[in-house]
Amino acid sequence: MENETAKSFDKHPHFIVREAEPFNAEPPPRLLRLSIVTPPELFYVRNHASVPEIDADSYQLKISGLSNRELQISLAELRERFSSRTVTATLQCAGNRRDGLMAVKEIGGEVSWGAQAIGNASWTGVSLCDVLEFAGMTTDARHVEFIGLDDVERKGARFGFGGSIPLEKGLSAEVLLAFEMNGAALAPVHGAPLRAIVPGYIGARSVKWLGEIKVKSEPSENYFQAHAYKLFPPGVSAQTVDWNEGLMLGEVSINSAICRPQEGESVRTGKCTVQGYAIAGGGRGVERVDVSGDNGQTWVEAKFDADDSSRWAWRFWEAEIDLEAGEAEIVARAWDSATNTQPEEARDIWNFKGYMNNAWHKVKVFVS
């Protein structure tokens, strides 16, 4: 980020940089909670290599694999040939809230995200399904792979960050090839000139700087699908892992976090207003959020903000709880439309890559 890409990304002065190069950053909780649609300068950035600079005019998207013909489509052709569509969708890094897992037991070589590796935007682009229909598919098609134009190095090899989604998901109208974020051209850090947007899935599948789409019979063998972004049982370590095993991440689980007050804040005795976000994966609804000031002995049901326009977006919530003087821990948990809820303890879902921490979110405050 200290390089040329800084020019085009006017990052918020309070953005929390977790890693300078590759640039990885998230906003503070309080700022994240200000607007249901996250402005680009407060939208988390998860990179695995330097931000590539791509000339939009000469850019060509390649579509290959099982389709009947190989295609190269320029941005202008993409906009011309297919109708535009706007979807409001929340993206969440699979490593969001990793700090809570790191507090349980060491996790090596991964970014220590707080609960703000998440953001919600209105994405405009063309529907992947329209492009796939145009490209044509064989009957063997089962997965859609996205490959980025960045230049990642892993295990001595260099390649573009990539991953795949099941074809069934790829044919859903909400999956976009997006060129705009909140009504303006995508910033380079957010994937310009074109990125995938896969609502309801971990952020890693919304591949940025999209260079190629491959229709395949098997899931992607890209490092970030076949090795990283897999969930392993608590007993598996970097030393014992068999990469052929593990749960290939896709849809995200029910999750919520407290954004106000923040960890370590001082608040007054009496009524305390607690605000946060909640998200359910796969288009399921967030149906309820419970907030507790006594570690789950008693709960207050939170109220949702009125804005509830997209099944792919998070919901903002607010609750009032009573706090007595002293140190207090505020806890939140959410429920989705399938009555899935969050597990209580991070220690019970610890995994050596530090993914998908959706344990009850806890914030310690000082009450006086």
Residues that bind its own copies (CB under 8 A): 231, 233-235, 247, 249-254, 281-282, 284, 287-288, 290, 296, 298-301, 335-345, 348-349, 355-356, 358
Q: Are 229 and 329 in contact (CB under 8 A)?
A: no
What's the rounded Cα separation, in Å, for the pair 97 and 359?
Answer: 9
- Least distance (Å) from its own copies to the CB of residue 327? 22
**CA angle (113, 117, 121) in 5-degree steps:** 170
* Amino acid occupying residue 262: Q
- Least distance (Å) from its own copies to the CB of residue 238? 17
DSSP type of residue 348: G
Strand partners, 326: 367
Q: Are 331 and 341 in contact (CB under 8 A)?
A: no
- Least distance (Å) from its own copies to the CB of residue 293? 13
* Amino acid occupying residue 297: Q
Residue 39 or 343 with smaller CB distance to its own copies = 343
Q: Are 200 and 216 in contact (CB under 8 A)?
A: no
Residue 83 or 297 with smaller CB distance to its own copies = 297
Closest CA to 130 of 82, 197, 78, 63: 82
Residue 150 or 336 with smaller CB distance to its own copies = 336
- Least distance (Å) from its own copies to the CB of residue 350? 11
Strand partners, 316: 277
Residue 78 or 115 with smaller CB distance to its own copies = 115
For 169, the token pair is: 């998901």
At residue 4, the 3 state secondary structure works out as helix
Residue 147 or 331 with smaller CB distance to its own copies = 331
Following DSSP, what letter does each residue of 28-44 receive, concatenated? -HHHHTT-SSPPGGGS-
Q: Are 116 and 366 in contact (CB under 8 A)?
A: no
Residue 220 or 253 with smaller CB distance to its own copies = 253
Closest CA to 87 of 200, 218, 243: 200
- Least distance (Å) from its own copies to the CB of residue 281? 5
Closest CA to 73 of 64, 63, 61: 61
Residue 76 or 338 with smaller CB distance to its own copies = 338
Cis peptide before 199 (omega within 30 of 0): no
- Least distance (Å) from its own copies to the CB of residue 335? 7
Q: Which helix (H) or strand (E) holds 134?
A: helix 128-135
- Least distance (Å) from its own copies to the CB of residue 150? 26
- Least distance (Å) from its own copies to the CB of residue 262? 25
* Amino acid occupying residue 311: R
Residue 239 or 266 with smaller CB distance to its own copies = 239
Residue 10 or 329 with smaller CB distance to its own copies = 329
- Least distance (Å) from its own copies to the CB of residue 24? 22
Tally of CB atoms within 10 A around 271: 10
User: Which residue do the tokens 């569509």 mark?
Assistant: 85
